Structure 1
């Protein structure tokens, strides 16, 4: 948790959060996003957006890994979004499963 409080991590996360918020606001203004999309949006942000942001920063050192990063993140995200979109679980199940599945997905590299 101390690592998350460092400016070197907070700045990109804050910029990404502001960008995501602006995108959500714009989509809502055009009628393309509503509060019913909140769960999927949070899931996407946690599994794809923020993780990919840091992976791409490291990919500069290894250009061949960009394709692998894209495949890995998209496949994990697609499966999670499909499962959570297909069936609505009770709140307690989602509160327990979401961090657990995210942790497993992030450590599976």
Structure 2
């Protein structure tokens, strides 16, 4: 389950498109600007009545909450999204690319 907040200038986003195309591609096609940065935070939270109903779990069950804030190259925020995730349906995978440095 997700909840997104976009700037008013991006009100033309058609949410049915998001099911078939990544949101960053849609934002870039509307604005002509690339999304160049995103920050993620993941925390635990108990499901309230509304989240429990939407996710078909018991009220008070543990959820993962992932908050993502994304920016365009010019520094403007383009997306603030909160995802509510059933932990048994999620795997956290982190990959990194490191620049090699000369040995000291």
TM-score where L is the length of structure 1: 0.23
Larger radius of gyration: 2
TM-score where L is the length of structure 2: 0.24
Q: Which has the higher helix share?
A: 1
Q: Which has the higher strand share?
A: 2
